[in-house]
Structure 1
Amino acid sequence: MHTQENLMSILTQIENDILQEMLQRRPDLTEAVPALLQLHEALVTSYDSGGKLLLCGNGGSHADAVHIAGELAKSFERLRPVPDDFRQKLGGLPFGDDLANHLEVGLPAIALGVGGALKTAIENDSPMRDIAFAQEAYSLIKKEDVLLGISTSGNADNCLMALSVAKASGAVAVSLTGPVGGKMAAFADVAIKAPGNSVKVIQEAHLVLYHTTCALIEAHYFENKR
Structure 2
Amino acid sequence: MKERTEQFCKEFFNLHQDLQPLKETMLQVCETLVKGYRNGGKLLVCGNGGSCADGDHIVGELMKGFLLKRPLNPETQDQLKKSFGDAGALLAEKLQCGLPAISLNAHAALLSAFSNDVDPELIYAQQVMGYAKKGDAVIGISTSGNAANVGYALMAAKTAGAVSVALTGRDGGEIARIADYSLIVPAQETYRIQEYHLIVYHFICAVIESEIFAC
The answer to whether the superposition gives a TM-score over 0.5 is yes
| 2:113 maps to 1:121 | yes
1:65-104 aligned at under 5 Å gives the runs 65-94=55-84, 95-104=87-96
CA distance in 2, matches of 1:142, 1:150: 20
CA distance in 2, matches of 1:80, 1:144: 23
Give the alignment partner of residue 55 of structure 1, picking from 30, 33, 45.
Answer: 45
CA distance in 2, matches of 1:100, 1:217: 23
Aligned length: 213
One-letter identity of the residue aligned with 1:219: S
CA deviation vs aligned residue, 1:26-70 (integer Å, no higher than 9, x gap): 210111111111111111111111000100000000000000000
Match in the other structure for 1:171:
162
CA deviation vs aligned residue, 1:62-108 (integer Å, no higher than 9, x gap): 00000000000000010111112211221233311111111100011
Q: What TM-score does the superposition give when structure 2 sets the normalisation length?
A: 0.96
Match in the other structure for 1:17:
7
One-letter identity of the residue aligned with 1:140: Y
CA distance in 2, matches of 1:223, 1:105: 11
Match in the other structure for 2:99:
107
Q: Does the CA-based 8 Å contact 1:22-1:208 persist in structure 2?
A: no
One-letter identity of the residue aligned with 1:160: G
Structure 2 gaps, min length 5: none
Q: Does the CA-based 8 Å contact 1:78-1:223 persist in structure 2?
A: no
One-letter identity of the residue aligned with 1:137: V
Q: 1:138 to 1:57 in 2, by over 3 A?
A: same
If each structure's helix is expressed as a fraction of its own residues, which one has the higher value? 2
After superposition, the CA RMSD in angstroms is 1.1
Give the alignment partner of residue 184 of structure 2, picking from 190, 193, 197.
Answer: 193
CA distance in 2, matches of 1:45, 1:139: 22
Q: What TM-score does the superposition give when structure 1 sets the normalisation length?
A: 0.91
CA distance in 2, matches of 1:113, 1:179: 24
CA distance in 2, matches of 1:186, 1:197: 18
One-letter identity of the residue aligned with 2:172: G
Q: Which runs of 4+ in 1 moved over 4 A?
A: none
One-letter identity of the residue aligned with 2:90: D
Structure 1 gaps, min length 5: 1-10
One-letter identity of the residue aligned with 1:119: L
CA distance in 1, matches of 2:60, 2:163: 21
Give the alignment partner of residue 44 of structure 1, picking from 34, 43, 57.
Answer: 34
Identity across matched positions, percent? 42
